[in-house]
């Protein structure tokens, strides 16, 4: 049972445009959501996060939106740059206090020059 779903395995956008990566979840006990970026041959690196008590968090070109009623979050990258091309993983934490994260399958973003 996939508790964190990234339904788009890939996304291609033009440099300078907005990239929107989506993530849906099923477990209403998740209290913290994170996005990780992964380049080939490297481990994932933390990008941005959002607590379930918020609906938006912004860091430079990256903004994460959370819609709790829809159990949906999205990562917006504006403007997109070729260096943003990577696999993006959405992850969620169960509020039970465990540090355990549940990951989505990832979305491969390609930003074309």
Q: How far apart are CA 43 and CA 52, in angstroms?
A: 26
Of 2, 26, 28, 112, the one binding other proteins by CB under 8 A: 2
Member of 63, 80, 93, 109 binding other proteins (CB under 8 A): 93
Q: Which residues pair with 27 in a beta bridge?
A: none
Name 22's Cβ contacts closer than 8 Å, sequence gap at least 6. 6, 7, 8, 72, 73, 74, 107
| Among the residue ranges 12-20, 63-71, 72-80, 92-100, the one whose residues contact other proteins (CB under 8 A) | 92-100
Q: Are strands 10-14 and 107-112 parallel, antiparallel or unpaired?
A: parallel
Q: Per rule CB under 8 A, is residue 46 in the interface with other proteins?
A: yes
Binding site for other proteins (CB under 8 A): 2, 4, 9, 32, 34, 36, 41-46, 49, 89, 93, 99-106
């Amino acid at each position: 049972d996939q508790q964190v779903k990234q339904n788009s395995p890939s996304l291609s956008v033009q440099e300078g445009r907005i990239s929107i990566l989506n993530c849906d979840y099923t477990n209403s006990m998740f209290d913290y959501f994170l996005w990780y970026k992964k380049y080939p041959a490297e481990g994932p690196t933390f990008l941005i996060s959002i607590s379930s008590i918020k609906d938006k968090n912004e860091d430079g070109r990256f903004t994460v939106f959370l819609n709790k009623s829809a159990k949906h979050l999205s990562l917006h990258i504006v403007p997109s740059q070729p260096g943003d091309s990577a696999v993006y993983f959405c992850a969620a934490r169960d509020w039970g206090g465990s540090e355990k994260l549940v990951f989505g399958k990832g979305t491969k973003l390609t930003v074309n020059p």
